[in-house]
Amino acid sequence: MPFKDFEMAAAGHTGIMTDEEESLFIKPVLKQEFDFYNTIKEETFKENSLLKNDAENRGVLPINEWIPKYIGSMSKTSNVSKEDVEKMGDLANMSIQPVYNNTNSTSEAQYIVLENLLNGYRTPNVMDIKLGKILYDESASVDKKNRLIKVSSETTSGSLGFRICGMKLANQCESNYDLFQPSEFCYNNMNTYISVNKTFGRRLKTPAEIRESLKLFFNNHLMGEEYTRSIIKMFNMRLESLIDTLENTKSKFISSSILLIFESNIDRIREHELDDDLIDTDFDILGYLEEICDEDQAMEIEGEVIDVEDIKRGISLSKLKLVDFGHSVIGKNTNIDVDKNTIDGLKVLKDIFQQLSNEF
């Protein structure tokens, strides 16, 4: 199966790939990130939500609602076919399988295959916000630890508990990008997108500057203020709900991020009538859509005939997801508690979103 570079990463390292249909997100990872996804998959399979005590009864969302769908693993040279990936998808839904081959660790890079969170979007805007004041774990070398302590102390990571790491902005021409210094961003070849690099977020110091950046981000569309207001409100609710999840989940997310994603394509927003869910079901919807032929105008789901356009309208307009678990640990059987480092940052960000909400 041919792969190509994934060009919509808001932050992070190079080497990420996608398939021709851009339905997959394929990233080189180390064992810890596989362990993280495998633990969640195993527990979910055992119908254990990983939530504490009665949290589920109180309607707290389990952690798997906040992360990309886990499809499987591959190595670059293993020549995975489309069918293999589809099979992995089936297996991912069915049973537990150790996808990381530990004995292979000296040979080639292992890639994790995840749902591409942007699949179904036409012109998404994406922001990556790294969480936590503490950015290193026990595995870091002394040099790395000292470097990360310095980064934290000089940026909003230390003062607020989170930092904007990067953005992909649809070039809306009419938007004002004066907030960025020339070295902090660049246009893509086609001039359709702007990449804002990590130096921008490292320069910001105050909650007011964060607010301005979020305002620029959420205004980066041509739909008018009502849309801005409605997406900010959705993200505000999502942050509250995510905090609730993390306050009830034993976990440690060193250097993980939240991804904020929203549609800026006017046609799709209009078709949607601003209707959006707290948690998307995009992966399932796109799966249904792939099963049916282009010319089919209707399909039957559980005995009910549904118009294809109606199904497409179910794809979200915006979403918030947790990503990047290379230094994260989760599970009831670990000796960790809830992750104050991450929750504290999210609470400060939630306050900023509340202020932003009040402004619109």
Ligand X SMILES: Nc1ncnc2c1ncn2[C@@H]1O[C@H](COP(=O)(O)OP(=O)(O)OP(=O)(O)O)[C@@H](O)[C@H]1O
Please give the residue ranges that form the binding site for Mg ion (CB under 5 A).
Answer: 12, 324
Among candidates 238, 123, 48, which has minimal Cα distance to 246? 238
As measured in angstroms, the least distance from the Cβ of 328 to Mg ion is 11
As measured in angstroms, the least distance from the Cβ of 181 to ligand X is 21
A 10 A CB-CB count for 90 gives 11
Q: Helices 207-218 and 225-246, interaxial angle, to 10°?
A: 120
Task: Pick one of ligand X, Mg ion, none as the site partner of residue 117 (Cβ within 5 to 8 A by kind).
Answer: ligand X
Task: Pick one of ligand X, Mg ion, none as the site partner of residue 116 (Cβ within 5 to 8 A by kind).
Answer: ligand X
CA dihedral 56, 60, 63, 66 (to 10 degrees): 140
Task: Pick one of ligand X, Mg ion, none as the site partner of residue 314 (Cβ within 5 to 8 A by kind).
Answer: none
Task: Pick one of Mg ion, ligand X, none as the site partner of residue 118 (Cβ within 5 to 8 A by kind).
Answer: ligand X
Question: Which position's Cβ is nearest ligand X?
Answer: 12
Shorter beta-carbon distance to ligand X: residue 11 or 285: 11
- 275-280 long-range contacts (CB < 8 A, ≥24 apart) are 275/313, 275/317, 276/230, 276/231, 276/234, 276/316, 276/317, 276/318, 277/316, 278/234, 278/237, 278/238, 278/241, 279/61, 279/65, 279/66, 279/319, 280/315, 280/316, 280/319
Show the tokens assigned to 59: 């309607």
Shorter beta-carbon distance to ligand X: residue 73 or 248: 73
Shorter beta-carbon distance to ligand X: residue 135 or 269: 135
Interface with ligand X (CB under 6 A) = 9-13, 16, 25, 27, 68, 114-118, 126, 128, 257, 259, 323-324, 326
As measured in angstroms, the least distance from the Cβ of 98 to ligand X is 20
Shorter beta-carbon distance to Mg ion: residue 258 or 330: 258
User: What Å distances lie between residue 45 and 91, 92, 126, 244, CA to CA?
Assistant: 11, 10, 31, 22
- 62-67 long-range contacts (CB < 8 A, ≥24 apart) are 62/245, 62/249, 63/245, 63/246, 63/249, 63/251, 63/322, 63/330, 64/40, 65/245, 65/279, 66/242, 66/245, 66/279, 66/320, 66/321, 66/322, 67/37, 67/40, 67/321, 67/322, 67/323, 67/325
Shorter beta-carbon distance to ligand X: residue 16 or 311: 16
Residue type, 300: E
As measured in angstroms, the least distance from the Cβ of 336 to ligand X is 20
Residue type, 62: P
As measured in angstroms, the least distance from the Cβ of 13 to Mg ion is 8
How many whole angstroms separate alpha carbon 297 and alpha carbon 308? 5
As measured in angstroms, the least distance from the Cβ of 138 to ligand X is 17
As measured in angstroms, the least distance from the Cβ of 120 to ligand X is 11
Task: Pick one of ligand X, Mg ion, none as the site partner of residue 9 (Cβ within 5 to 8 A by kind).
Answer: ligand X
Q: Helices 207-218 and 340-359, interaxial angle, to 10°?
A: 60
Task: Pick one of Mg ion, ligand X, none as the site partner of residue 179 (Cβ within 5 to 8 A by kind).
Answer: none
Shorter beta-carbon distance to Mg ion: residue 184 or 324: 324
As measured in angstroms, the least distance from the Cβ of 100 to ligand X is 15
Shorter beta-carbon distance to ligand X: residue 12 or 287: 12
Shorter beta-carbon distance to ligand X: residue 246 or 259: 259
